[in-house]
Amino acid sequence: MNPPNSMTTSPFVPRPTQPKVIIMLPANLELSLDAFNQLLMHTPGTAAPIPVTPVRAFPIAAPDDAIALVDNHGSERLWIEHLTDLTPDNAQRVRQTLASREMTPLILRINHVSRFATPSVWQIETNHGATELTLKTEDDIRPLPSGGYLVADTFGLQFKIPPRSQLDRQSQRYLARFL
């Protein structure tokens, strides 16, 4: 009789084989977009390009640094230290793909605040049009290294607020009440 911790009675299912890690210099990287704007990575020794998705490690603090290209299974296929390491065409393709999957509206103006305690409903104008957000607590407003703020509404949508000096007086007053 085998002991209970024997490898022969392991309840674990074997892991599928991991994709081959390809090491290449960013200057040798070839990226393209297909008809559906899916980013494709062309690698030496493979006939078909690999569909990849760029994922930022630090989307707020360092948006152009530390970007992973992951395949459809979530496996990292390539690490890009700095977008400037890529050719201008490849960097533009990565930026275009990131822009299509990331949306953080920029608050241009705070038109009205329902009350100066939380929860509070803000009527705002963003770079995508007029909308409203519900601020659950003051902790949902976080300062950014750039001097602006990141606001999370009750539904988890993130909004950026530029530095206070770039807002009109009314918006500055509304924002100051919550900081």
Instruction: Examine the domain organization and report whether 119 and 88 are in the same domain.
Output: no
Residues 6+ apart with CB under 8 A from 84: 64, 91
Structural domain ending residue among the three candidates 85, 101, 117: 101
* 76 torsion bin: left (phi>0), alpha (psi -120 to 50), beta (else): beta
Question: In this predicted structure, what is the pLDDT of residue 162?
Answer: 95
Question: In this predicted structure, what is the pLDDT of residue 63?
Answer: 87
**pLDDT tens over the chain, length 179 residues:** 555 554 555 555 555 555 555 556 666 788 999 988 899 998 777 788 999 999 999 887 788 899 999 999 988 988 899 999 899 999 999 999 998 887 889 999 999 999 999 999 999 999 999 999 999 999 999 998 888 999 999 988 899 999 999 999 999 999 999 98
Q: Give the residue ranges of DSSP H helices in 30-123.
A: 88-101
**CA 132 vs CA 66, 106, 123: distances in Å:** 33, 13, 4
Instruction: Examine the domain organization and report whether 27 and 89 are in the same domain.
Output: yes
Rounded to whole angstroms, how far apart are CA atoms 123 and 164? 17
Question: In this predicted structure, what is the pLDDT of residue 13?
Answer: 55
pTM value surpassing 0.75: no
Rounded to whole angstroms, how far apart are CA atoms 15 and 49? 24
In a domain, 12, yes or no: no
Contact (Cβ atoms closer than 8 angstroms) between residue 80 and residue 69: yes
Instruction: Examine the domain organization and report whether 78 and 55 are in the same domain.
Output: yes
Question: In this predicted structure, what is the pLDDT of residue 61?
Answer: 79
DSSP string, 115-137: -SSSSEEEEEEETTEEEEEEE--
Q: Quote the DSSP letter at residue 62.
A: -
Instruction: Examine the domain organization and report whether 28 and 77 are in the same domain.
Output: yes
In a domain, 119, yes or no: yes
Structural domain ending residue among the three candidates 73, 101, 129: 101
Give the containing element (helix H, strand E) for 174.
helix 169-176
Instruction: Examine the domain organization and report whether 96 and 164 are in the same domain.
Output: no
Structural domain ending residue among the three candidates 51, 79, 101: 101
Question: In this predicted structure, what is the pLDDT of residue 4?
Answer: 52
Buried b (16+ CB within 10 A) or exposed e, 71-95: eeeeeebbebeebeebeeebbebbb
Residue 38: give the domain boundaries.
Answer: 20-101
Instruction: Examine the domain organization and report whether 134 and 79 are in the same domain.
Output: no
Q: How many domains does the chain have?
A: 2
Pairing of strands 107-113, 76-82: unpaired
Question: In this predicted structure, what is the pLDDT of residue 3?
Answer: 52
Instruction: Examine the domain organization and report whether 37 and 91 are in the same domain.
Output: yes
Instruction: Examine the domain organization and report whether 111 and 83 are in the same domain.
Output: no
